[in-house]
Amino acid sequence: MVAFFAGTLIFLLQIFNNLTPSGALYEDQVGKFDWRQQYIGHVKEAVLEYGGARKHIFVSSDSNVLAAILARNGNIAWRHIFPHGEAGIINALLYTGQELLTVSNNGFVVRSWDPNSGSLQWEAITSSVLSSESGENVPGVMLFQEEGNPKKPRLAVTYNGNVIVLNVKSGEELWKESLPNSDSIQDYLIQVNLNDEDDGALVVLGRVPGMGFKVFRYNAKDGTLLGQTQVPSPWLQEDTSCMVLSGDKVVCADSQSKAVRIATIQSRQQDQTGFSSIPLTTLQLPATGFHVEPINKYSVGDHRYFALGLDDRTLAWLKLEGEDIRVVKTFPQVSSFTFDYYKDQQILTIVSGRNEEMLIQSHTKDKEITNLRSKAKIGASSGSPKKVYAMYLDRKDKTVGSRTLLQTSDHGLHLVQQGGDISWSREESLASAVSVEMVDLPVSETEAQFEDEFGTRKGDNIFSMFARRTSTQFAQLQTYFDHLRKKVEAFQKGSSHHDHNVEQLTYAVRFDDTDEIIGEYLTRDEFSLHKIIIVATRAGKVFGLDSEDGCILWSHFLPNVEPITRGGKQLLPLMIQRTTAHFPNPPQCTIIAKSKTSDRHVIFSFNPINGKPSLPEHPQGQELPFTLKQATMQNIVDQEFMKVILLVDTEYKVYAYPANSESVVRENADNIYLFTADSDSGALNGYRLGAADDTPASHNSFRPIRTAEEIWHVQLPSLLQTITHVVAKRPAEEVHSQGRVLGDRTVLYKYLNPNLVVVVSEGEDAIAKSHVTVYLIDVVTGNIVFQTDHKRVEGPVHVVHSENWVVYHFWNNRYRRNEVTVLELFEGSSQKNSTAFSSLDPPSDPLVERQSYIFSESLQALSTTQTEKGITAKHVLMVLKSGGIISLPKRFLDPRRPLVPTQMHKEEGLIPYIPELIAPPTAYINYNQSVFGIENVHTSPAGLESTCLVLAYGLDFYFTRATPSNLFDVLKEDFDYLLIGTVLTALLVAAVVTRRLASMKALRQAWK
């Protein structure tokens, strides 16, 4: 019996021993503090689905994305992300009505997709060898049908000096032939002539700039070479636009001679006749720049019609008649146009006018389809129309209906219904975000009035301040009652102000009303968890997003700017010069970009709360009157609490922005240091502010105030290496602890150099082996504090730099694995200066602890959490290519983790070292909301010390709250207020009752 109870006890103890606590996300928490948005990117091609329910719009983008958009609401039905880089480029998108085809990797891969579900039906590889030179040859693609059998569509593709014909239904290779002497060919054009005397000929034209066309004619059925000729055309340039028309005619726009050139390519003779020239003046068209546009470059039809787009926005609709050209119609002020077929009828759809008043017209060769004329408005911040895609359908009244998809210069997509109504819009420029910042919301007006309660006005006395205090509190009481009334009304309607359904389309601007509504909603909450996310994109568009659900609060388009390109990377410096903490001064952000029309730069300042320009006289930004070399924001403020931006031109003259902060710069000139890094030459230079510059002002707002004097120069090996990363610490980063307490109760002090910058260079060594070098450089003195070289490793390298440590990730070629390395710097057991760090009088060389770990997956981005006071433990945020975001405690990346822990190590709490860095499943902060195409992660502190706001952005956006040390400063949501209140009430009642009883007992004892 005793043995039975003992065995049962041991069994129960084993069960309880195996029960370990785990973290999880409750179902009701999904979408409460986080949101996800998925994008497609800048659309290259779009196909509107005919037949069936006409519910899809198929698109391919510059981000190597293939997607289907629901025509009814603009949401993504399905999406496929191809590999990054050249291997995933989608060269052609074709739709037969039943099959959706893509040609990618410059013709190497052809795929067929199910239009409804997006599932892969078949994949064909056009060559057994992936050519490294294929990227220089743009593939030719042609969709055609076998003569006499229209149910057997065929696809012709050129790749690596070959032409391949595939069966569209099965992906089977029907025939494949080589293109002789195709090494010098830049790109290809394909045309199929089914009426050829040889039962159909497939004609391939290879364009050789400066020479002409190489023409190859094959039998469309079996690939027999029928002949090859050359069409001499020495005027042919790389950017010359050409197309193939019916009857084996090739038409080119010769911009040098201002003429349209035509040649016949059907002859088998070796001596091919050249191009005939038709000047634009003969066609009574203005002799300006122009290009030709085909009706549909992938399909077979009556290709005798084409268009000429002229530089003055005139569109000429032309028809080929034998060896001559006839002008069908001309259209002035055309923004975009498209050709299409509908029931064997050619229709030209044009868009003219501006955003506020666009006119959409549809024309046949005989007349305009008047019932398709529409007027639409898409807003001034959407850019001008660049591309238009039309879909035609039969209406119940037996007339022709249409839907029009507009793509604007800001990468936006807008579906226009017949009549001009905008059905939906997609802001696809968000997929190309470059810079992100989070801005605190301003306090309400009533709270801001408390600033006036302490006699800030002239002539204030105690009575006026008391009256102001009373009126302010009364206004607060009114605001509170209004807030309660709105909550009751929202509850009665059964809906709240926010909709956290992540499947809803959130691209439309939330507020279309006055600034009063915006000001009422955009007020700071108690813990500053609600913020505005400022996003600057490559398209030149700036957004203000609501951090609660990602809705667009405002947007502003800068049509004449583009990102700054440095070292192969695109940059848009976004700086917060003044926050909302300095009432009544409005907050201000500034963006510096490159001008599209000149080699100068543009500076644009705006209010981050409402998106309005800070300088109304420069709504599209102010072009700098000098060539910018460096721009940096200093941690000094002027009299209006505005941080100063220093601009350095190529002549090393220094300018202050805004201009009225020059006096502050002069006062702090001795403490200002600048540096530049040239990725091409590998040179790093440090500067200080020199003597005053007496050069007269070249512009009213910009006057050089100082010159930049070089004080140090570091030349990194640039022959085989290139600087890829220059990573500094965050300017406002808080460091709570200056050292680490060891197991023997001594302190190991951190090396907290605010001027330390991580410089990463990648390249090859003398024996062509890849390697990565990491430098830690003090940019005030140019001193290389530390450097390390990793041989036989390559990028992409991801770096995060915080406090006294650096973490970076790379690919190890030798062992074929991903590795993460951590560097941690310490001064030692004593500090040279415990109050401030000086680079001019630094401590001795720091003690560098380093360690590497094996990581199972490759990363897309790397960042770290940030809190208001730096008390909360740090976590390293890792974005995986598989779609997850891991929040890994920094203690797992501690370089002091011992192989064999001693008692002192245990006292310090160090984890034993193992080479593999394993992240637990609970470390995924995006649970099942996978994100792809992430380029960076931005973190911002909240008002709660335990909470960090995280935004991962790129092709997808994901926002959430991270709590590295859990919510130690907030009561949990499941806190039992009723139980605690009941217990406290019972204890209070018991205390009162027992006190009464005790006093009565004491009174009775006193009378005895």
Residues 6+ away with beta carbon under 8 Å from 400: 342, 369, 371, 372, 392, 393, 394
Give the Cα separation of 736 and 941 in Å (integer).
14
Instruction: Give the pLDDT of residue 446.
Output: 64
Give the Cα separation of 462 and 353 in Å (integer).
63
Q: How far does CA 872 lie from the centroid of its chain? A: 29
Give the Cα separation of 631 and 656 in Å (integer).
10
Half-sphere exposure (Cβ direction) of 280: Cα atoms closer than 13 Å: 23
The answer to whether 231 and 250 are in contact (CB under 8 A) is yes
Phi and psi torsions of 836, nearest 5° = -150, 150
Phi and psi torsions of 820, nearest 5° = -120, 130
Over residues 640-694, the pLDDT tens digits come to: 889 999 999 999 999 999 888 888 898 888 889 999 999 888 899 999 998 776 6
Phi and psi torsions of 439, nearest 5° = -120, 135
Give the Cα separation of 123 and 268 in Å (integer).
35
Q: How many CB atoms lie within 10 A of CB 892?
A: 18
Instruction: Give the pLDDT of residue 459.
Output: 60
The answer to whether 545 and 554 are in contact (CB under 8 A) is no
Over residues 430-443, the pLDDT tens digits come to: 999 999 999 999 88
Q: Which long-range contacts (CB under 8 A, 24 or more apart) does 514-519 make?
A: 515/610, 518/553, 518/609, 518/610, 519/445
- Is the backbone peptide bond immediately before 625 cis, with ω within 30 degrees of 0? no
Give the Cα separation of 182 and 136 in Å (integer).
12
Indicate the burial class of 711 (C-beta count within 10 angstroms; 0-12, 13-18, 19 or more). Answer: middle
Instruction: Give the pLDDT of residue 789.
Output: 92
SS3 396: coil
Instruction: Give the pLDDT of residue 501.
Output: 37
Residue 348 parent element (H or E): strand 345-354
Residues 6+ away with beta carbon under 8 Å from 204: 140, 158, 163, 179, 188, 189, 190, 215, 216, 217, 218
Instruction: Give the pLDDT of residue 70.
Output: 92
Instruction: Give the pLDDT of residue 483.
Output: 67
Tokens of 598: 């000149």
The answer to whether 133 and 125 are in contact (CB under 8 A) is no
For tokens 């085909």, name the residue: 294
Over residues 432-474, the pLDDT tens digits come to: 999 999 999 988 766 666 655 554 555 667 777 777 777 777 7
Phi and psi torsions of 451, nearest 5° = -65, -20
For tokens 């094959």, name the residue: 218
Give the Cα separation of 240 and 412 in Å (integer).
28
- Is the backbone peptide bond immediately before 658 cis, with ω within 30 degrees of 0? yes
Give the Cα separation of 305 and 326 in Å (integer).
10
CATH domain 31-178 topology: Methylamine Dehydrogenase; Chain H (2.130.10)
SS3 403: strand
Instruction: Give the pLDDT of residue 523.
Output: 81
Q: Regarding beta strands 956-962 and 162-167, do their DSSP bridges make them parallel or antiparallel, or are they unpaired?
A: unpaired
The conformation of residue 901, written as its DSSP 8-state character, comes to -
Nearest alpha carbon to residue 909 among 889, 939, 885, 883: 889
Phi and psi torsions of 315, nearest 5° = -115, 125
Instruction: Give the pLDDT of residue 27.
Output: 64
Instruction: Give the pLDDT of residue 471.
Output: 76
Q: Give me the DSSP letters along 108-128.
A: TEEEEE-TTT--EEEEEES-S
Indicate the burial class of 884 (C-beta count within 10 angstroms; 0-12, 13-18, 19 or more). Answer: buried
Strands, DSSP E only, in 620-669? 622-623, 628-637, 643-649, 653-657
Residues 6+ away with beta carbon under 8 Å from 687: 648, 652, 673, 674, 675, 676, 708, 709, 710, 711
Give the Cα separation of 714 and 726 in Å (integer).
14
Give the Cα separation of 611 and 420 in Å (integer).
28
Instruction: Give the pLDDT of residue 333.
Output: 84
Residue at 39: amino acid letter: Y
For tokens 């239009």, name the residue: 115
Instruction: Give the pLDDT of residue 224.
Output: 86
Give the Cα separation of 60 and 584 in Å (integer).
48
Give the Cα separation of 189 and 745 in Å (integer).
77
All structural domains of the chain with their residue ranges? 31-178, 342-420, 430-623, 637-715, 976-1008
Angle in degrees, CA 25, 28, 34, rounded to 5: 70
Instruction: Give the pLDDT of residue 287.
Output: 66
**Positions of the chain with pLDDT lower than 50, given as ranges:** 1-6, 8-23, 267, 270-271, 295-301, 455, 495-509, 511-514, 516-517, 698-699
Tokens of 116: 């409804």
Instruction: Give the pLDDT of residue 194.
Output: 56
